[in-house]
Structure formats: structure tokens, C-alpha cells
Amino acid sequence: MTTRATKLASIPIHERFLLDEETASIMCGVCLDTFRAWRKAGHVRCVKLPIGDRRKLYRRSDLVEFVESLGEAI
């Protein structure tokens, strides 16, 4: 069985600048449903690509900033 940390470690660093929902939820340490709830609440925003790609992608730097802000709120 593959752990969440193992999945994240298997993604090359150059592919981690824009993350899909599953990878973003792994990086934030929450389940996909929780991550989607954060998105719907406006806590995290997806990036709109100029090529019209419909996938929801997230900036790694935005997620790091958001997760760090959660630690400060505690």
C-alpha cells in the first residue's frame, strides 16, 4: 500500500509548481473532500490557464502559504 507521503515524493520537483487536486490535498495533509471544501469556501483558488485547460490546478507556493497560515491560527 502506498502512503500519501510516498505518492508526493514520487512526483518530480519540476512537476510540483502546479498541482492537481489530489496532489494538492496530499501536500496539505487532508483528504480530497476537505480540500474541495476549502476551494468551495474560497480558502484556496485554482489557476486559470490561458490555453483553456479545464483541469483545476493550484500553485504550490499558494498552498504552502495557506498551510502556514493555518499553523498561525492555532
Angle (deg, nearest 10), helices 32-41 and 21-28? 100
Q: 63 pLDDT exceeds 80?
A: yes
Helices 21-28/60-73 angle, 10° precision: 30
What are the angstrom distances between the C-alpha of 21 and each of 11, 72, 74? 14, 24, 25
- Number of separate domains in the chain: 1
* pLDDT tens digits, one per residue of 25-46: 998 889 999 999 999 999 999 8
Check if the beta carbon of residue 43 is closer than 8 Å to that of residue 65.
no
What's the CATH code of the domain at 12? 1.10.1660
Q: Rounded to an integer, what distance in angstroms lies between the CA atom of residue 8 and that of residue 1?
A: 14
Range of the domain at 47: 4-73
